[in-house]
Amino acid sequence: MRAVIQRVKSASVTVEGKVVSEVNKGLLVFLGVAQEDTPADVDYMASKIANLRIFEDDEGLMNLSVLDVGGEALVVSQFTICGDCRKGRRPSFIDAARPEKADPLYQAFMDEISRLGVPVKAGIFQAMMDVELINDGPVTILLDSNKLF
């Protein structure tokens, strides 16, 4: 499971000209599910993201999590971050999970991060979405449950 996590002042998802989800201060999480992912990956990613200390404290140090600041998470399914661009010029998505596997794990991730105390909003699985954000910092973190970057 891979995630691109952005600390945001606000973020929203629009589908067919209609805003379907929006958050204020918090995280925008682009989540990609790989073929080999399991519920253990869901648990790892939800806990890691909920507790990542990427928000500034009173001294300007990144010592606070989204839980600490009372932030929200907007989670957007994005299989393209499972793409492999090492060969040729066109990404290969062979490692991305098929929708019948990816959707339940995407839903489970949102359930788990919510259970941990983070209010969650979502994009629409498999929809063409316009994602708008104001990146705070900017702070962008790459996270993979299966390997280090």
Whether residue 148 lies inside any domain: the answer is no
Amino acid letter for position 14: T
Tokens of 117: 């105390």
Q: Which of 121, 4, 107 is nearest to 72 (CA)?
A: 121
Q: In 3-state terms, what secondary structure has residue 2? A: strand
Write down the pLDDT at residue 149: 45
Domain that holds residue 57: 2-142
In order along its 149 residues, the chain shows pLDDT tens digits of 999 999 999 999 999 999 999 999 999 999 999 999 999 999 999 999 999 999 999 999 999 999 999 999 999 999 999 999 999 999 999 999 999 999 999 999 999 999 999 999 999 999 999 999 999 999 999 999 986 54
Q: How many domains does the chain have?
A: 1
**pTM (predicted TM-score):** 0.94
Whether residue 149 lies inside any domain: the answer is no
Whether residue 147 lies inside any domain: the answer is no
Whether residue 123 lies inside any domain: the answer is yes
What one-character-per-residue DSSP string does 38-81 give?
-HHHHHHHHHHHHH---EE-TTS-EEE-TTTTT-EEEEEE-GGG
What one-character-per-residue DSSP string does 74-142 give?
EEEE-GGGG-B-SSSSS-B-TTBPPHHHHHHHHHHHHHHHHHTT--EEE--TT---EEEEEEEEEEEEE
Q: Residue 7 is part of a domain; what is its CATH number? A: 3.50.80.10
Catalytic residue positions, numbered? 78-80
DSSP class of 34: B
Q: In whole angstroms, how far apart are CA 105 and each of 16, 28, 29, 71, 141?
A: 25, 18, 14, 23, 21
Whether residue 136 lies inside any domain: the answer is yes
